[in-house]
Amino acid sequence: MYEQFGAFLITVGIGMAAAFIYDFYRAVRLSLGLRRLGGSIADLVFWFLLTLIVFGLLLLGTGGDVRWYVVAGLATGALIYRRRFTTRGYAFWRGYLHVSFRALQIVCQPLVWFWQGVTWPVRFQVLMVRRIGRSLRLRLHIRRPPPPPDQDV
């Protein structure tokens, strides 16, 4: 009896962890602005990975036994998390992603400056060729006379 109760508590924790990971996925999906196809692919990848994580945790926690209390524990844990902790968990992941993306921008900015410096001569030449071409087209543009009016006999 105590072993089953312990397994139930473990599965409640796994259910809460799965819901916490789902909040991470929601924050990532919103941050990336995924739409139909990208969102569908991301959904498939997320649920596949979450299934692997939950299965691995169940193997560690309950020895792979799947009984009614395991399913009930997973559902109970997910419901408890969704009712009590989802707003804080989601806010945590949004803040974490915001700080991470900002740090990535700061780290990558010198690389962007370097790339702009290296490619500046080419970009300048392309700009000059476009301006010269536009100027020549305007100067060489020959106005055609209007077509003659239709003459009905």
Length of the chain: 153
Residue 25: which H helix or E strand, with range?
Answer: helix 2-32
Tell me: the pLDDT tens digits for 76-89? 999 999 999 999 99
What does the domain layout of the chain look like in residue ranges? Answer: 2-109
| pLDDT number for residue 142 | 57
Tell me: the pLDDT tens digits for 131-148? 888 777 666 665 666 777
User: Between the CA atoms of 14, 17, 19 and 20, what dihedral angle is there, to the nearest 10 degrees?
Assistant: 180
Q: Which residue's entry shows tokens 């990535």?
A: 104
Whether the predicted model's global pTM rises above the 0.75 cut: no
| pLDDT number for residue 140 | 62
